[in-house]
Amino acid sequence: MSNTPYTELLTRAKEAWLLGTVSSILHWDQETQMPPNGAGHRANQQALVARLAHERATDPRIGDLLASCESSRDMADPEGDQATNVREIRRAYSRAIKLPSALVEEMARVSVLAHQAWAEARKSSDFAHFSPWLAKVLKIKQEEAACVGYKDNPYDALLDEYEPDETSANLVKVFESLRAPLVELVGRIASTGRRAPTEILERPAPIAAQQEFGCMAARAIGFDFNAGRMDVSVHPFCTDIGPGDVRITTRYDEKAFGDSLFSVLHESGHAMYEQGFLPEHAGTPLGQAISLGIHESQSRMWENLVGRSRAFWTHYFPTARQFFPSLADVSFDDFYRAINATEPGYIRVDADEATYNLHVLLRFEIEQALLNKDLSIADLPGAWNEKMQKYLGVTPPDDARGCLQDVHWSGGAFGYFATYTLGNLYACQFFDQAKHDIPTLETSFAAGDFAPLLKWLRTNIHQHGRRFSAGRLVKKVTGSALSSAPLLTHLRRKALEVYGV
């Protein structure tokens, strides 16, 4: 291939991406293998890699190459390969050149140390141990928002990194379309006085059996263990090291086997999206996720729409009883009701489908208040508990089950949480279309065959990388703009099935 401006641009973009994958493996090791005393050195490593990657990504030569490419006739098709790559590299370049290398380097360094402080604080439920580090992270993110620029709300500058072109003003509308219906639905369920037998899920389940069952389920739905692996971490996650190497984690509790299993399905959904990019596009925007909302749609689809379905457990419940003898006297219907219970609780990652978005709303509002300096770090635990009571009717008994439960803020992921709700919306709309396109989909689940859904996702979503915006993709795949109706319909159907309301 001749050395045209476009090929040189891709070469330079791939070099910056490769440095990012080095950071990914350092992060994975930090979460799964690194001894606690290695945090200081790891912070310096991550800071150096972040600076080098930023310097590569902001080299003025990239700006020159972009200008040359943008005037090329090969840009005629706005959704063609070259136009997509040039457009998305321009987007990343325009953002990156606004950020001082020193700020990028400091965020990478502080995030490692802040994460260690968060893990220790969560373990001992001691917010005071984490608060100085949260203050450091928040200050850096406020500086980042100021550098990037925004029209009305600093939150928008940070949100755009995760969900391009999305705004807090639109997210407020999204949450408004969900808040009242969700509160009403949860209230109706509570008024029945019926409860699902969730104590079933607290029966003893040996960790070795959980590991084997989880790996079996991940492999069955399509996670390629020849191109990935699964480990243990404090907070489950998925990280893309590069082509042929996508890693997921989970966590185990002998009296909460469902938590691990659904985390495995969730993270496998993320991983299969990463494993579905076309290998020839590795290191370019065509080999990367459109947005975290779309990414989250893949994880939430496999975790909830597949993993909590009757069809999935029609196939897997007999196997689960073999793995976990404590389920021997449990009926299928009771088990199904237990995994689909609607009961407000403290922990977001354990939340049922109906209350989950209320957990996200709480974080969305708190993040904006922190970024806009309407809420102090010192007042965060109290504000958190007040909102938990307001939206979910429960008050966390300690900060470990309150404002310390999530890892995201320690790594500077402000603007991230809203993508979880967008993911739920995308997931239901995509899944409805998949069922329309494949009428036998649930029959195949009941037979233990998940390949038809994965093939549909590969064809309609994964292979496109960043060719289409999130909004354009949804309309292209489903024929409609993003709507809350499919999610609300799904939740109401599930409530009728489990609670009769």
Could you list the active site residues?
267
Residue among 287, 298, 272 nearest 423 (CA): 298
Please report, as a single letter, which amino acid is at residue 425.
L
> Is the separation of the CB atoms in 289 and 239 below 8 Å?
no
Residue with tokens 């209320």: 358
225 Cβ neighbours under 8 A, 6+ residues apart: 215, 218, 219
Residue among 137, 429, 484 nearest 145 (CA): 137
User: What are the φ and ψ backbone dihedral angles of 39, each rounded to 5 degrees?
Assistant: -60, -40
Q: Which two tokens stand for residue 487?
A: 């999610």
> Is the separation of the CB atoms in 474 and 482 below 8 Å?
yes
Give the separation between CA 320 and CA 52, rounded to whole angstroms: 48
Distances in whole angstroms, Cα of residue 324 to Cα of each of 247, 283, 318: 26, 43, 10
User: What are the φ and ψ backbone dihedral angles of 240, each rounded to 5 degrees?
Assistant: -95, 110
56 Cβ neighbours under 8 A, 6+ residues apart: 12, 15, 16, 19
Residue with tokens 């990019």: 277
Give the separation between CA 89 and CA 294, rounded to whole angstroms: 19
> Is the separation of the CB atoms in 360 and 388 below 8 Å?
no
